[in-house]
Structure 1
């Protein structure tokens, strides 16, 4: 069930390791056979591709680069070309940078050592509008949030969570890493109804990604 995958036409890869860059390019073409892929091996090359034209559908971004951080690209896309779906591809070396990527609006977090077929499937899920978060990513975010305590990123949230009982239940499911269809099954509601709750939660909390929803659920003790 759910929306059919969007047929991405153009992608940008920012990854300094040549073999990983080519591997991700192959996975993109498996998921979207007609896609055009621009490959950048450092931040300078990424700027050369991106700044003249913002016409990308998706960007796969490594955070640790020889001439800067992938966070710079994420921040730029968030401000100047928000239509680009940003996906962090990582090995989880730096939890703090992952947290900052969440704040900047990255829509997915994929592991570099993921099986090829699973990686391509996750790209298709992202194209359907799902924020793909691995269980390991959610665990890392939970650990980082608990270390921070009252996160500065969440200080703008209201003291009392402005959600209905059912919306809190849906948020708790998201906080545990459940997808929308799994949330629907857990709560005994339709996928369409669960998706409507998620949309309303995002609107009320002024958030735009599942990663942010995980952090809010943690902040309010729902997980």
Structure 2
């Protein structure tokens, strides 16, 4: 069972998201918060698998709440909900340890896919949010395809395979099965990739893979 704490200051949004998540019998919303401070306390109390967090909330904004929640319960994955026009917040959320980004007005199925993905240790990026993130990172980031491809070209073929599958949102276990590797080996590859490429987390790795247009290897 994937246990979720849901945080949004609008009760109608929480009700809608809760109804979407209820469609999956393997997902349970264990608590709800209407502000960032309440979210942190609920994460500390429940130690959920996933905290589904709105960026803009009263008392303590979603990004600050995400950072505090990560410190209170490092095992809890942060999945951020956003709307159009919040690109600056999305870029900042990368540094808060967020494992994924969803668009509130996107396909409801993305909530189920995203919660499952981050609970299993993968990064999840709504396709439309991913495109905006790439644009918002600016010339010094991962914006231009040519630059991304140049960085990726320095990797070994196996490292590129792992990176491409990170970009596709696969977990370590799924990557291991796809590439016929031990899961421990995949963890080592991921750690090495983040260090070699100067990336902070799996989300940035997924963004780089997408910007470089890496295609997952055929199994």
- TM-score normalised to structure 2 length: 0.72
Q: 1:113 to 1:216 in 2, by over 3 A?
A: closer
Q: Which residue does 1:178 correspond to in 2?
A: 168
**Structure 1 residue 191 corresponds to structure 2 residue 184:** no
The alpha-carbon deviation at position 54 of structure 1 amounts to 5.2
Q: Which residue does 2:35 correspond to in 1?
A: 42
Q: Which moved more, 1:208-217 or 1:88-97?
A: 208-217
The alpha-carbon deviation at position 67 of structure 1 amounts to 2.9
Preserved contact between residue 202 and residue 208 of structure 1 (Cα < 8 Å)? no
Q: 1:222 to 1:199 in 2, by over 3 A?
A: farther
Residue-by-residue CA offset, 1:147-189 (whole Å, 9 max, x unaligned): 24158xxxxxxxx877423313542x358x43449xx9xxxx9
The alpha-carbon deviation at position 104 of structure 1 amounts to 2.1
Q: Which residue does 2:81 correspond to in 1?
A: 89
Q: Which residues of 2 match residues 1-223 of structure 1 at below 5 A? A: 7-8=1-2, 10-32=3-25, 35-51=28-44, 53=45, 55-145=47-137, 147-149=138-140, 163-171=155-163, 173=164, 177-180=167-170, 191-193=178-180, 199-204=187-192, 205-206=194-195, 209-215=201-207, 222-223=212-213
Q: 1:193 to 1:209 in 2, by over 3 A?
A: farther
Higher RCO, Cα 8 Å, sep 6+:
1
Q: Deviating runs (4+, > 6 A) in structure 1?
A: none
Give the whole-Å Cα distance in 1 for the aligned partners of 2:205 and 2:119: 19
Q: Which residue does 2:147 correspond to in 1?
A: none
Preserved contact between residue 12 and residue 39 of structure 1 (Cα < 8 Å)? yes
Aligned CA RMSD, in angstroms, stands at 3.4
Give the unaligned 5+ runs of structure 1: 1-6, 152-159
Q: Which moved more, 1:42-51 or 1:68-77?
A: 42-51
Q: 1:148 to 1:54 in 2, by over 3 A?
A: farther
Secondary structure at the counterpart of residue 168 of structure 2: coil
The alpha-carbon deviation at position 36 of structure 1 amounts to 4.5
Q: 1:34 to 1:80 in 2, by over 3 A?
A: closer
Preserved contact between residue 123 and residue 206 of structure 2 (Cα < 8 Å)? no
The alpha-carbon deviation at position 33 of structure 1 amounts to 5.4
The alpha-carbon deviation at position 129 of structure 1 amounts to 3.4
Preserved contact between residue 180 and residue 191 of structure 1 (Cα < 8 Å)? no
Preserved contact between residue 110 and residue 126 of structure 2 (Cα < 8 Å)? no
Preserved contact between residue 117 and residue 169 of structure 2 (Cα < 8 Å)? no
Give the whole-Å Cα distance in 2 for the aligned partners of 1:121 and 1:217: 20
Give the whole-Å Cα distance in 1 for the aligned partners of 2:200 and 2:20: 26
Give the unaligned 5+ runs of structure 2: 143-150, 214-219
